Amino acid sequence: MKEKLLTGFREIFKTEASNVYFAPGRVNLIGEHTDYNGGHVFPCALNIGTYLAVKPRSDKKFQFYSENFAHLGIIEVDLDNIVYDVNDDWVNYPKGCIREVQKLGITLNHGLDLYYFGNIPYGAGLSSSASIELVTLVMLNEEYGLNIDRIELVKMGQRAENQFVGVNCGIMDQFAIGMGKANHAVLLDTGKLKYQYAPLNIEGYSLVVTNTNKRRGLADSKYNERRAECEKALEILKQYKNINALCELTLAEFESLSDKIEDEIIRKRARHAISENERTILAKKALDEGNLTEFGRLMNESHVSLRDDYEVTGKELDTLAALAWAQDGVIGSRMTGAGFGGCTISIVKNEYLDNFKVNVEREYEKVIGYKPTFYVVSVGDGAKKL
């Protein structure tokens, strides 16, 4: 991949790149819609992601090119004028990262030629945007010798997306991509930013990401709606319990207070967040004990909660999950990401992989009218210089 990138860089910029960087995509194994409720998430970094070749310039221009958006050509940005511009399309993500560095009072005294290539399926919910942010920030940190702490880079990536691009995401994506570790998942307490690694011992099994191939047009508006519903639940529960976030409650505590929330929809939203947080902690324990069967059961339970209490799945994701549950060799399967399209994540015994793909594809196409796409992924390291 490095050679492919260096060749691409040479063709576009007519010069040799000096360094190459990589940031993975991520998939969340369990712990969905808990991150903005102060709960736990359990993501891992993938072996697919965003590559970036770079060379310093003598002027103050940044020249951006992406093989994935080749039709847009080279997009030029002046270092003294880093502002959001809808015409700059995907470049607003790296621009937001440059702006974050500038906000620290750091002067970047020269520009760069930048060549990006990503092999994360676009729009699948595997965090291509956070991957672009972290590969950019790790590169800036290295190229300019900034010595910024890795967790600070993670926070800068989130701020770039929240404040510059205007997407109200939690910290999970940037954290998993910045802090990932090969063959490990990361249990992250999003409320306290405390984390621990869990060895992902799934020998004999594979992680299969299945893309519904439905573009997630609805996800953003519904995402904001769900956040607002959770905030409403929190305001009500705060009257009875001294908490700052829903996930500070145990499920038992919530059940004893749930009748205080009169609106059934608001009550269901809170139940999902709190029960999902508990499931995520139990999932880490199951992995530590080598109990994959229990881990899979919790994944399935997570999908049911996202379907019934949080209502963010939709026909495509529910079809994929139900089909996966019916296959031999499947330990567990659930939607992953914001919902309303995107992907499921399944743990499948290796000898059943081919059958899994054939059966799920055939039946999904019968119900939905088009085929899903499968990615057998492995768990890799976080963002780094290659």
Judged on CB neighbours under 10 Å (0-12, 13-18, 19+), 300 is middle
185 has which bridge partners?
198
Q: Are 331 and 348 in contact (CB under 8 A)?
A: yes
* Token digits of residue 360: 């799920």
Q: Is the dihedral of CA 147, 149, 154, 156 positive or negative?
A: negative
Q: Exposure string (b/e) for 193-221, b if CB count within 10 Å is 16 or more? A: eebeebebebeebbbbbbbbbbebebbee
User: In Å, how far from its chain's centre is CA 341?
Assistant: 14
- Secondary structure of 228-291 in the HEC alphabet? HHHHHHHHHHHCCCCCCCHHHCCHHHHHHHHHHCCCHHHHHHHHHHHHHHHHHHHHHHHHHCCC
Q: Are 16 and 124 in contact (CB under 8 A)?
A: no
354 is catalytic: no
The identity of residue 164, as a single letter, is F
Of the residues 78, 88, 89, 173, which is catalytic? Answer: 173
What amino acid positions are annotated as catalytic residues?
A: 173
